[in-house]
């Protein structure tokens, strides 16, 4: 039987995306725009967290949001109605992640003239979004208490690429077998430099610390 020629394309695809991402990151830095790539599982509370956070900082910095989903515009509409800021929806055409070119297309449809911070709410998934560099300034992810404190062990890449981990839904800690200390240890096992902020998007507890983190990062970029 004749052998079948196998072409390894994964490396070249990632290499091309990494180059695009680096170029985009440089352009954003030159424009003094901070791009946050926010990732998580579906239902972890990304949109609710963003609404609370944006309402805390929107009078201090110019903010815009790009909502990425396979379909619908539910989250983009929700963000716009709850905060009044610029919000657009990105449909991925069935893909479970965004890459640098998709992110650029979204940015091209935003008015960034007076924007200091663009937040990309990535597709809900703990695997694919972590594999593709979007060109973001920083990566953050939300882990919700009901998901369990062992997620950093099961999804190592996601926690390895994130500068910040938000542990959401702390209000339900009494009802779940979730060990905060163990979770933080598991996160730092994957990424010793990751910052961790426990929050409750529903009540607002801890969200001010996330807002302060963002404002600090935006200020640092502008001073570079």
Q: Which helix H or strand E contains 82, and what residues bound it?
A: helix 74-83
Under 8 Å CB-to-CB from 53, ≥6 apart: which residues? 207, 210, 211, 214
User: Over the stretch 193-204, which tens digit does the pLDDT of each residue have?
Assistant: 999 999 999 999
> pTM for the whole thing?
0.92
**146 burial level (CB within 10 Å; 0-12, 13-18, 19+):** middle
What pLDDT is recorded for position 4?
Answer: 56
User: Over the stretch 163-183, which tens digit does the pLDDT of each residue have?
Assistant: 999 999 999 999 999 999 999
Is the pLDDT at 9 greater than 50, yes or no? no
Separation of alpha carbons 18 and 132, rounded Å: 8
Separation of alpha carbons 76 and 196, rounded Å: 26
Separation of alpha carbons 181 and 132, rounded Å: 30
What pLDDT is recorded for position 7?
Answer: 42
Beta bridge partners of 143: 167
User: Over the stretch 11-46, which tens digit does the pLDDT of each residue have?
Assistant: 556 789 999 999 999 999 999 999 999 999 999 999
* 111 — pLDDT class (breaks 50, 70, 90): very high
Torsion over CA: 209, 214, 218, 220 (sign): positive
Helix axes 10-30, 100-108, angle to 10 degrees: 40
* 2 — pLDDT class (breaks 50, 70, 90): low
**53 burial level (CB within 10 Å; 0-12, 13-18, 19+):** buried
Arithmetic mean of pLDDT, 182-190: 98
Is the pLDDT at 97 greater than 90, yes or no? no
User: Over the stretch 44-80, which tens digit does the pLDDT of each residue have?
Assistant: 999 999 999 999 999 999 999 999 887 778 888 999 9
Contact 116, 104 (CB under 8 A): no
* DSSP state, residue 211: H
């Amino acid at each position: 039987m004749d052998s079948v020629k196998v072409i390894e394309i994964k490396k070249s695809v990632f290499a091309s995306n990494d180059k695009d991402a680096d170029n985009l990151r440089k352009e954003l830095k030159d424009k003094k725009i901070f791009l946050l790539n926010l990732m998580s599982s579906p239902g972890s509370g990304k949109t609710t967290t963003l609404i609370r956070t944006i309402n805390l900082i929107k009078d201090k910095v110019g903010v815009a949001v790009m909502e990425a989903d396979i379909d619908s515009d539910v989250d983009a509409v929700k963000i716009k109605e709850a905060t009044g800021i610029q919000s657009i929806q990105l449909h991925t055409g069935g893909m479970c992640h965004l890459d640098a070119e998709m992110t650029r297309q979204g940015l091209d449809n935003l008015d960034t003239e007076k924007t200091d911070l663009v937040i990309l709410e990535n597709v809900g998934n703990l695997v694919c979004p972590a594999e593709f560099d979007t060109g973001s300034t920083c990566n953050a992810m939300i882990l919700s208490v009901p998901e369990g404190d062992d997620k950093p062990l099961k999804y190592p890449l996601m926690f390895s690429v994130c500068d910040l981990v938000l542990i959401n839904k702390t209000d339900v800690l009494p009802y779940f077998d979730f060990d905060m200390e163990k979770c933080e240890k598991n996160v730092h096992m994957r990424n010793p430099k990751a910052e961790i902020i426990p929050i409750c998007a529903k009540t607002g507890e801890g969200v001010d610390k996330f807002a302060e983190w963002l404002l600090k990062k935006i200020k640092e970029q502008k001073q570079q």
